[in-house]
Amino acid sequence: MSQLDQVKIVDLPKITDPRGNLTFIEGGDHTPFDIQRVYYLYDVPGGAERGGHAHKGLQQLIIAMSGSFDVVLNDGSTKQRFHLKRSYFGLYVPTMLWRELDNFSSGAVCMVLASNKYDEEDYYRNYNDYLQALKN
């Protein structure tokens, strides 16, 4: 079974109101993990790519807060592209998937909810190292 089989779009609560809509996220309810860290990407230049790594133990929920972008997930043999463009949908990304983010629209904001605090030891930043780890 591939880790790609665990990837899913999470439909977040959307409370509609003529004064403006509201969406909320509760760790453990809307994510299969407790949220330990939140970060966001913004002012990404046109044509730029982000990501280019995999995590050993970190799980994430990736959300397009504004604008749109693509998330390309790779399990070492298969790639799958997800286009995110709504702030009430999140992409759940489990451990051990190589990820790249590209195709950012102007003004896009990407928010990431993470299961752990930052730990450089959790990263595979070299694709060949990642592929070797999958074989072990």
Could you give the residue numbers annotated as active site?
53
Are 62 and 91 a contacting pair, CB within 8 Å?
yes
- Cα separation, 21 vs 16, whole angstroms: 5
> No. of H helices and E strands in the chain?
1, 10
- Cα separation, 36 vs 117, whole angstroms: 6
Task: Determine the straight-line distance between the first and last CA of the chain, rounded to whole angstroms.
Answer: 16
